[in-house]
């Protein structure tokens, strides 16, 4: 995973995307955590819905579970 994380981090640093989306696969989850940690940025995992508002801000919805 380390070579992939470094390559993806380098791409993000070069191209400066506003949003980076990765699949919820085993590799995608692992890469997302590694890249977010290296870049010292936030990470929202397991989103079920994404929306961009009129200001261009991204809103992510993810399930929460409650109860006993």
Question: Residues 4-39: pLDDT tens digits?
Answer: 999 999 999 999 999 999 999 999 999 999 999 999
For residue 38, being part of any structural domain is answered with yes
| Whole-number Å distance between alpha carbons of 16 and 20 | 10
Q: Is 67 domain-assigned?
A: no
Give the number of domains in the chain: 1
SS3 14: helix
DSSP string, 19-62: -----SSHHHHHHHHHHHHHHT-----S-SEEEE-TTS-EEEE-
Structural domain for 11, as ranges: 2-61
In a domain, 40, yes or no: yes
The answer to the question of residue 37 being in a domain is: yes
pTM score: 0.82
Within a domain: 43: yes
Q: Determine phi and psi for 56, rounding to 5 degrees.
A: 90, 10
* Residue 27: inside a domain: yes
Does residue 56 belong to any structural domain of this protein?
yes
pLDDT tier, 1 (very low <50, low <70, confident <90, very high otherwise): confident
């Amino acid at each position: 995973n380390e070579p992939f994380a470094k390559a993806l981090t380098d791409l993000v640093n070069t191209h400066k995307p506003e949003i980076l989306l990765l699949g919820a696969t085993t590799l995608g989850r692992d890469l997302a955590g590694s890249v977010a940690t290296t870049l010292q940025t936030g990470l929202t995992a397991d989103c079920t819905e994404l929306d961009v508002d009129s200001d261009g801000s991204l809103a992510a919805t993810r399930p929460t579970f409650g109860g006993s």
